[in-house]
Every structure is written in structure tokens, then in C-alpha cells.
């Protein structure tokens, strides 16, 4: 038997009808996977029949979005739906067996993310700095002169550093400061 796998985009609104259609057509529910991404949480619902695995993906679910439960069609989904709620902050409505946020006893109150809270804070700070520098650059563009070019380079560099891991960005900044200090020592 040959195994096949497919990924199909899915909207939140299409989920209940998909679950009913899969059940009626003899597909079995395999899993629901939650993946934290920059702009929310991706939910992947997997169904299998006759060696074919189809993954239906709802992309970028936000904390304020409400996802309907499929436990009225596939009861086994309650485990995955409670997990997505407790660990990723996904609002899933009408779970047949709902643990009300107590499925897992976790030490952190905020949902899981791809990055640590410290990294997230550092990225947000770097984005704000980049935005401030971009505003400064826009002001300099109106005024003209050399300051404009330097600020533009600084804003571009800050944008790149904001996308990096904060620890790596700190090392790059330290290396640049050392290089600048060395250049000033040669000029003097």
C-alpha cells in the first residue's frame, strides 16, 4: 500500500462541515496539531482513509478568534482541543469534554510561543527602535543632508537586528561598537 499526504488550506467557518463530511465519507480523525507562529497559531486537522492522510490547515488563528469544536463529530478531538486551548490560548467553543483550562497543570500562565518572553520583549523593543529611526529618517529626508543617509543605514540595520535572536543581535552590536572604537583610535 502506498502512503500519500496532502495539505489543504481551511477556514474556521469551513471546519464543522469538513468534520461531518469526513465522518460521513469514512475518514478517521488522526490529530489536531497547534503550531505557534509569529502572527497567531496554525491549526492542522489530520484525517486518514485508505492510506491517504489529508491535513487541513487553518492559518494564523488569533487569540480573539473562536474555533468551533469538532468533538460532536469526532469525540477523540477533545484531547487536542483542550491542549490547543491550554497551551496555545486558542478559543475553542463547545468542546464535548472541556477541562476549562485545567487539562494541563503548567507553570506559565501565558500560552506557548516559538520564542521566549524575553526574546519577544527584545524583538518588540527592536521593532520600536527601528520604527523610531525610520521616523527620524523620514524627517531627515525632508531636511536633506548627510544625516539622512546615516539614519537610513541605521534603521535598515536595526530592522535586520530585530529579526535576529536577541542574543545574536547583542553580539553583533558589541562587535560593531568594538569596530567603531578601534576606528576612532586609529583616527586620533
Identify whether residues 13 and 84 lie together within a single domain: yes
Residue 111 inside a domain? The answer is no
Check residue 48 and give its pLDDT. Answer: 96
Identify whether residues 29 and 80 lie together within a single domain: yes
Segments in the chain forming alpha helices (H)? 15-24, 77-88, 117-143, 146-163, 166-187
Residue 48 inside a domain? The answer is yes
Residue 2 CA to residue 116 CA, distance in Å, equals: 40
Reading the block at residue 93, the C-alpha cell is 467553543
Residue 102 inside a domain? The answer is no
Check residue 83 and give its pLDDT. Answer: 92
pLDDT digits over 72-113, tens only? Answer: 999 999 999 999 998 888 999 999 987 776 666 665 655 555
Identify whether residues 128 and 47 lie together within a single domain: no
| Number of domains the chain is built from | 2
Residue 103 inside a domain? The answer is no
Pair 30, 51: CB distance under 8 Å: no
Check residue 82 and give its pLDDT. Answer: 92
Lowest mean pLDDT segment, chosen from 37-46, 82-91, 115-124: 115-124
Q: At what angle do helices 166-187 and 117-143 cross, to 10 degrees?
A: 50
pLDDT digits over 137-180, tens only? Answer: 777 777 765 554 555 666 777 777 777 777 787 888 888 888 88
Q: Using the 8-state DSSP alphabet, how is residue 111 labeled?
A: P
* Full residue range of the structural domain in which residue 46 is found: 4-93
Q: Which residue has the higher pLDDT, 175 or 15?
A: 15
Check residue 97 and give its pLDDT. Answer: 85
Check residue 115 and give its pLDDT. Answer: 63
Pair 71, 77: CB distance under 8 Å: yes
pTM above 0.75, yes or no: no
Residue 100 inside a domain? The answer is no
Check residue 39 and give its pLDDT. Answer: 87
* Percentages (nearest 5) of helix, strand, coil residues in the chain: 50, 20, 30
Identify whether residues 161 and 88 lie together within a single domain: no
| Mean of all residue pLDDT scores within the chain | 83
Amino acid at each position: 500500500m502506498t502512503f500519500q499526504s496532502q495539505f489543504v488550506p481551511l477556514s474556521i467557518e469551513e471546519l464543522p462541515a469538513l468534520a461531518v463530511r469526513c465522518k460521513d465519507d469514512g475518514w478517521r480523525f488522526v490529530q489536531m496539531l497547534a503550531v505557534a507562529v509569529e502572527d497567531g497559531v496554525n491549526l492542522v486537522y489530520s484525517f486518514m482513509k485508505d492510506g491517504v492522510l489529508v491535513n487541513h490547515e487553518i492559518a494564523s488563528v488569533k487569540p480573539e478568534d473562536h474555533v468551533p469544536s469538532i468533538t460532536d463529530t469526532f469525540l477523540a478531538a477533545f484531547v487536542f482541543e483542550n491542549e490547543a486551548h491550554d497551551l496555545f490560548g486558542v478559543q475553542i467553543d463547545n468542546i464535548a469534554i472541556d477541562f476549562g483550562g485545567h487539562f494541563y497543570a503548567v507553570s506559565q500562565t501565558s500560552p506557548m510561543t516559538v520564542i521566549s518572553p524575553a526574546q519577544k520583549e527584545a524583538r518588540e523593543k527592536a521593532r520600536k527602535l527601528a520604527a523610531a529611526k525610520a521616523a527620524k529618517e523620514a524627517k531627515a529626508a525632508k531636511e536633506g543632508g548627510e544625516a539622512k543617509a546615516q539614519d537610513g543605514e541605521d534603521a535598515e540595520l536595526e530592522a535586520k537586528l530585530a529579526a535576529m535572536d536577541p542574543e545574536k543581535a547583542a553580539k553583533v552590536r558589541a562587535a560593531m561598537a568594538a569596530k567603531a572604537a578601534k576606528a576612532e583610535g586609529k583616527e586620533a
